[in-house]
Chains A and B, each alone.
Chain A
Amino acid sequence: MEIRTYLRHFDYGLLAAVLGLVVYGLVVIYSATHSDPNLPSPYYYVKMQGIAAIIGAVLMAVATFVDFRGFRAYRNYMYAGILGLILIVFFIGTTAMGGQRWISLGYFNLQPSELAKVVMILVVAGFLADRQRGDLEAQTTMMTLGLAALPAVLVFLQPDFGTTLVLVAVTLALLFVYGTRWLHFAAIGAAFGAAVVMVMEVLPLAGIHLLKQYQVDRLLVFLHPDQDPGGSGYHLLQSKIAIGSGLLTGTGLFNGTQTQLNFLPEHHTDFIFSVLGEELGFVGAALLLALYLLVIWRGVRIAIISESLFGSLVAGGIVAMLLFQIFVNIGMTIGIMPITGIPLPFLSYGGSSMVSNLVAIGLLESIHVRSRLIGDRRYRRAQAAA
């Protein structure tokens, strides 16, 4: 494909929104971390995040040029590969924050579970696209669930509960876009309900604790944040205070007392939105949501206009992945969602997440470009000439 053709069909709106988000994120991370006296330099986190963004941008460009349809053929290798990476974590992983999630790569730490989000979209979408057209039998649904369950369980055991939830959400979204019957979703819902009751109520009685206590606390505290302001509720309360005190226009960058005086925990990672809410106020939060909405809108549009089922599925999966993370993360900071440790796409500090999300955007662009070619007479003429 000619570079000019390619550039003609590029979705610049999507690119601009994502670029805006990444820059926005770097600014907020700088504000959140520059005064940390333990850092070698005030720019430490910004620099690390910037490098991740550059690597992500390169990989995004690659993903854009590469014909995404090619991934479909390699889905089994990708599946095996990601399972392998997740398994490796159990043996040589770095432990932090109650979980073993990283593989140390010298300068960087690779978090396979972050990669798993994107890889599993391709794998499951490929699997579904390879099924017989219109095959909406229970068998397809079951096999899809089974396919996704293996990495989800492995990630859960790391334990990385947040990513597990993302994998589950993405799989369900893919089934949804694929056209799975409502009856199947009802059955899945029922089974999920039963599983929750088992994990939370029945198994603990039998002495089996699949969830660690802090995870249960975090999951439930958003329902009663005042009950335990010292424990898990503390994070939530401080986050709400930060956001609430931002008022309409915020306290100004570098001026949020909740952030700068460390009342807000994990303020450059999971609670980055609270920093933004405090320092930039409702205006800043609304701007962020507008950028996200732009990304989601372009993603949904790409899923609709995609020239292939596989493309629609991949786009739909990516939209679902981003939407789920945005909603759960921001919802967590404002007290309407449990605290699950899900990062905010493009904003939260974290290289693996940044790279994965940018690669996902690259995939969206790739789908966009290729679906646009169908209506491109110059391209068809060129193809015919060839």
Chain B
Amino acid sequence: MPSVLSNSRSKKNRQLPSVALRAGLMGVGALLLFGILIFRIWFLQVISGNEYTAMAENNRVRFVPEEAPRGIIVDRNQQPLVENRAGLAVTVFPPAMKNPQQEIAALSQVIQVSPEDIQKQLDAHKNDTYTSVVVKKDITPEMKSYLIERTPLYFPGVDIKKYPLRSYPQGSEAAHVLGHVGQIDEKELKEPRYQDGYKAGDEIGQDGAEYQFDYWLKGVDGGQQVEVDASGKPKQELSSVMAQPGKNVVLTIDSRIQKATEDALRYGIDLARSKHYPANAGSAIVMDPKTGEVLAMASMPNYDPSVWVGGMSTAQYQQLTDPAAGDPLLNRAIQGQYPPGSTFKVISTFAGLQEGMITPSETVNSTGTWHVPGDPTVVFHDWSALGIVDLHRAIVMSCDTYFYEVGYRFYNNNNNQGLQKWARLMGLGSPTGIDLPGEAKGRVPDPQWKQQVGQTAIDKMWLPGNSVNMAIGQGDVLATPMQMAMVYSAIANNGRIMKPHIGLRVTDPVTNETIKEWQPEVESDLPISPDNMRLVQQALIGAAQPGSAIGSVFAGFQPVIAGKSGTAQVAGKADYAWYAAYAPANDPKYVVVVQIEQGGGGSTSAAPAVKKIMEALFPQAQPPAATGTTTTTTAPTGG
């Protein structure tokens, strides 16, 4: 009965025309929905496709920088002073973090870096989109295992990688000379010095040789562009640039002498303390007068440079810069400025002779006190009433009266630039130009200077006392131990001043070939007559012998030492001890200067320390019998 079926159905359909209508409406609705989908897909893929492509790249491409190891620093005998060790660093790849704030907070707890500091690191790199940022260097094994267990589940985007770190095989030795490395900051990045090849996050030399030779020591970073999957696992390397290690720097420093110098300085300080002087600090320099090479440079108090490795806490830094702790970061050899005391008398001698104020044979009667002729109100004291002294004896015995007279003659002859001229010729008042950063220039006072700094009318005037005090290295004259080492180097080298330096050569880390060498360089030749030079050299030999102002410190020492002590008075402090020497006196190889703050007289602590250094410099030449007299200086001493 086909008709029944078809007829009845079609009739029923006719009863409900709305069914077809509504089905059709559903079709219209479908078209609408498909329209929405296709429009939205068009928007995503075609209109903003590039944006999403960049995001996809950001997802998968990661740049893992490979920090180039810095060059190592060795002493002149290839003894390593600064090396690299394989450290570990924690890196963060910000786009991979799912909940950055929470993760940074958790990470902060693990690596002991404040969330702010982590954020600061990330911000510094926010334009390098594919780069993993180092947020903590030198992590402990505990931190490492903790993080490795929890990455990438709890710390997505956090990774651990090898990171070369500085190490100091000689401990605190030469800490001030070597300096340290630290991360370049925003301000430094803008300096002209760092315009070529430096980028945020770089480790740069922050002080000492690390700073001075950064250009050589710094390598060229490399890195790998890797493709990672969602869990951060590297899948393939897209491109890679090898890191080029920095060049090695050979210093003029001799590690053995450096060690001996530091020991000697410590010994001098202890000696002064045993005699109840505060002796809170000091410095020492050993250099070759003929080349200007610095063989040792020590400063106390010192510190262990490894505290800088991996970044230090604020508390640690405060401790290192606390004046109460004696400013251990200060390299007193080039940054400490002191009245040079009697070590200055050689300058006054040259000035007096060359400017015609005195002759070698002229004598002065030392009665213990001296005053400006016609003005007995201001009394200048001498350390001892030496009687009639000529120039030679004045230097040997460090006679103040003689040099008061020299100073006064400059004043009296209205030559108020004579002393100054010779002080400057011999290097005072300006940095010596040693290849170390932060060198102080000291001070050579003159009438212009007084005019500038004086507060009152009388303060602004150059008075007789200014010349008189200056002639014995007191008053307003200031010098760094390095400057005084240069003065005595000039004398040891017959008036030829060599440019001081601490960098010897730069070598290739792979081939060990010399890339650059710093040759001895003549800074200037002092216009001093050979006779006058010989006179001072002879006097300095006498000044180191028994019977001189320092007593028997160097009694019997071979080879013969030439030297001069200094005892500088500083208002409100114990005396500052100096000793400047060179040896062998007839063919000087070494100039040694020791300065001890509040270490008493030059012979109390500085000269014995110099002797210790000399013993190390001339180990064979030293007769064993002579060592017994080292510390038994009882004679009245001056300088």
Interface residues of chain A, those whose CB is within 8 Å of chain B, are: 133-134, 173, 176-179, 229-231, 234, 238, 240-248, 257-258, 261-263, 277-278, 281-282, 285-286, 289, 292-293, 296-297, 300, 303-304, 307-309, 312-313, 315-316, 319-320, 323, 327, 330-331, 334-336, 374, 380, 383-384
Contact = CB atoms under 8 A, between A and B. Distances in A.
Interface string B17-45: 01110111111011101101110111011
Interface stretch (B85-93, B224-232, B297-305, B440-448): B224-232
Contacts of A244: 44-45, 48-49, 51-53, 55-56
Contacts of B38: 285-286, 289
Given A178-B19, A304-B23, A247 B30 contact: no
B44 to A, nearest CB: 5
A257 B49 contact: no
B15 A334 contact: no
Q: Among the interface residues A179, A300, A331, A335, which one has the most CB atoms of the partner chain B within 10 A? A: A300
B479 to A, nearest CB: 63
B381 interface: no
Interface in B154-182: none
Contact of A263 (B9, B18, B50, B60): B60
Given A246-B45, A257-B59, A282-B45, A334 B40 contact: yes
B10 interface: yes
Given A282-B42, A308-B12, 10 more contacts: A133-B12, A177-B22, A243-B41, A244-B44, A244-B49, A261-B229, A261-B230, A308-B13, A309-B13, A334-B37
A177 B26 contact: yes
Contact of A336 (B30, B40, B52, B99): B40
B23 A243 contact: no
Contacts of B2: 380, 383-384
Interface of B: 2, 6, 9-10, 12-13, 15-16, 18-20, 22-27, 29-31, 33-34, 36-38, 40-42, 44-46, 48-53, 55-57, 59-60, 97-99, 227-231, 235
A373 B10 CA distance: 13
B328 to A, nearest CB: 46
A207 B264 CA distance: 80
B34 to A, nearest CB: 6
A316 B40 contact: no
B52 A307 contact: no
Contacts of B40: 331, 334-336
Given A285-B45, A300-B23, A134 B15 contact: yes
Contacts of B56: 241-242, 244-245, 257-258, 263, 278
A327 B37 contact: yes
Contacts of A229: 98-99
B16 A309 contact: yes
B41 A334 contact: yes
Given A179-B16, A293-B30, A308-B12, A315 B37 contact: no
A263 B58 CA distance: 11
Contacts of A313: 19
Nearest to A302: B23
B27 A296 contact: yes
Contacts of B46: 247-248, 282
B50 to A, nearest CB: 8
A234 to B, nearest CB: 6
A297 B27 contact: yes
Contact of A176 (B15, B26, B37): B26
Nearest to B6: A374
Nearest to A300: B27
A263 B23 contact: no
Nearest to B1: A383
Given A312-B19, A374-B6, A243 B34 contact: no
8 contacts: A177-B22, A179-B16, A246-B45, A247-B49, A277-B45, A282-B42, A285-B38, A297-B27
Contacts of A173: 26
A315 B23 contact: yes
A53 B345 CA distance: 107
A261 B60 contact: yes
Contacts of A282: 41-42, 45-46
Nearest to B42: A282
Contacts of B25: 176
Contacts of A246: 45, 49
A263 B44 CA distance: 18
B168 to A, nearest CB: 43
Nearest to A381: B2
A177 B52 contact: no
Contacts of A335: 40
Nearest to B230: A262
Contacts of A231: 98-99
A141 to B, nearest CB: 14
A211 B229 CA distance: 33
Contacts of A234: 98
Contacts of B6: 307, 374
Contacts of B49: 244-248
A300 B30 contact: yes
Q: Among the interface residues B16, B25, B27, B235, which one has the most CB atoms of the partner chain A within 10 A? A: B27
Contact of A334 (B23, B29, B44): B44
Nearest to A315: B23
A307 B29 CA distance: 23
B450 to A, nearest CB: 69
B16 A134 contact: yes
B235 A179 contact: no
Contacts of A179: 16, 18-19, 22
Nearest 9 CB-CB pairs, A to B? A244-B52, A230-B98, A300-B27, A303-B23, A245-B56, A230-B99, A262-B230, A261-B229, A247-B49
A320 B20 CA distance: 15
A31 B288 CA distance: 75
A222 B40 CA distance: 14
Contacts of B26: 173, 176-177, 300, 303, 316, 319-320, 323
Given A296-B30, A320-B26, A261 B227 contact: yes
Nearest to A327: B33
Given A258-B59, A316-B26, A247 B36 contact: no
A262 B227 CA distance: 12
Contacts of A319: 23, 26-27, 30
Contacts of B57: 257
Given A245-B52, A282-B46, A289 B12 contact: no
Contacts of A241: 52, 55-56, 59
Contacts of A261: 59-60, 227-230, 235
Nearest to B18: A179
A229 B40 CA distance: 21
A281 B45 contact: yes
A285 B34 CA distance: 11
Nearest to A257: B60
B23 A316 contact: yes
Contact of A307 (B13, B16, B23, B36): B13
A133 B11 CA distance: 12
Contact of A304 (B20, B36, B42, B44): B20
A296 B34 CA distance: 10
B99 A331 contact: no
B53 A247 contact: yes
Q: Among the interface residues A313, A320, A327, which one has the most CB atoms of the partner chain B within 10 A? A: A327
Contacts of A242: 52, 56
A251 to B, nearest CB: 9
Contacts of A296: 27, 30, 34
A249 to B, nearest CB: 10
A383 to B, nearest CB: 5
A257 B61 CA distance: 10
Contacts of A308: 9, 12-13
A334 B34 CA distance: 13
Nearest to B231: A262
Nearest to B60: A257
Contact of B44 (A238, A240, A312, A315): A240
